[in-house]
Amino acid sequence: MVLIAVCDDNKDELLRISSILDAYRLERKASISYHTFQSVSELLSAAKGRGYALYLLDVIMPAVSGMEAAREIRSFDQDAELVFLTSSPEFAVESYRYKARDYILKPVKQEQLFPVLDSLRAKKENPRRGLSVKTKTGIARILYERLAYVEVMGRQVYFHLSDSSVREAVAPLLEFESELLSQPEFVRTHRSFVVNLMQVAELRGKELTTLSGEKVPVSRQNYSRVREAFVEHLFAEGGLGL
């Protein structure tokens, strides 16, 4: 079962989105369930214990905005999909700071939401990609989607995860490099760092910032390539749609 949370202060919009979700469930014979909320406070009070796979968030709401809701959601859930809904495109770029899946202009239409739901179901049904790493205490399975960046110091390789935890392996980076760089979301930023673009919040100057707030250096010779890859990634993840 895929759980979806919809938050919009406009009752008519909630009804519109609910009808689209009902139509999707019938047409695709999909096992999905959704809950609707008219305020961010209601949403957040229910979110932590529910394990929603997708949040559909109105951007402009009284008291607490959809962007602020996204920041709070990311504090306890790095993996859920976020889709922002709004009548204005002005917040599109900011939405990627929270690893948003998409940014849909209102009124929401079936042809906009169905592909998001198809992608979500495919992600749930397909095996999760990752690599196995021999650590000092055993063998760890590290999912690519949870891996923020890899750092090498001497013969120690540190796998920094999206929840700020670290897995340590005694091996050269070369042992993992080819496999990581064969994945489209990974890029080398520095001779000692490989970064997951899906975990990048911002690229500025000689460093980038991950969604968890950690700083990773970008060497001068790699900057142009990293910047190009990051911009391509932003568009590939859903497009700015402006």
Q: What percent of the chain has pLDDT over 90?
A: 50
Q: CA 117, CA 227: separation in Å to the nearest integer?
A: 30
Residue type for 98, please? Y
Q: Of the spans 17-21, 70-74, 151-155, which averages the highest pLDDT?
A: 17-21
Helix axes 40-50, 66-76, angle to 10 degrees: 20
Whether 196 and 185 have beta carbons less than 8 Å apart is answered as: yes
pLDDT in tens, 184-232: 889 999 999 999 999 999 998 899 999 999 999 999 999 999 999 888 8
Q: Which two tokens stand for residue 238?
A: 């859903």
pLDDT of residue 95: 53
Q: Tokens 């689209």 sit at which residue?
A: 20
Q: Which two tokens stand for residue 185?
A: 């979301």
pLDDT in tens, 73-123: 988 887 788 999 987 666 555 555 667 778 888 899 999 999 999 888 877
- Report helix, strand or coil for 137: coil
pLDDT of residue 240: 42
pLDDT of residue 96: 56
Q: CA 223, CA 94: separation in Å to the nearest integer?
A: 22
Q: Where does 135-175 show beta strands of DSSP type E? A: 139-143, 147-153, 156-161, 166-170
Average pLDDT, the chain: 86
Q: Pairing between strand 54-58 and 81-86? A: parallel
pLDDT of residue 113: 94
Fold of 130-236: OB fold (Dihydrolipoamide Acetyltransferase, E2P) (2.40.50)
Handedness of CA 209, 210, 216, 221 (dihedral sign): negative
Q: CA 110, CA 200: separation in Å to the nearest integer?
A: 30
* Top-level class of domain 2-125: alpha beta
**Topology alike, domains 2-125 and 130-236:** no
pLDDT of residue 173: 77
Q: How confident is the model at residue 33 (pLDDT cuts 50, 70, 90)?
A: very high
Least confident of 42-46, 129-133, 169-173: 169-173
Handedness of CA 182, 187, 193, 195 (dihedral sign): negative
Per-domain boundaries in the chain: 2-125, 130-236
Whether 102 and 120 have beta carbons less than 8 Å apart is answered as: no
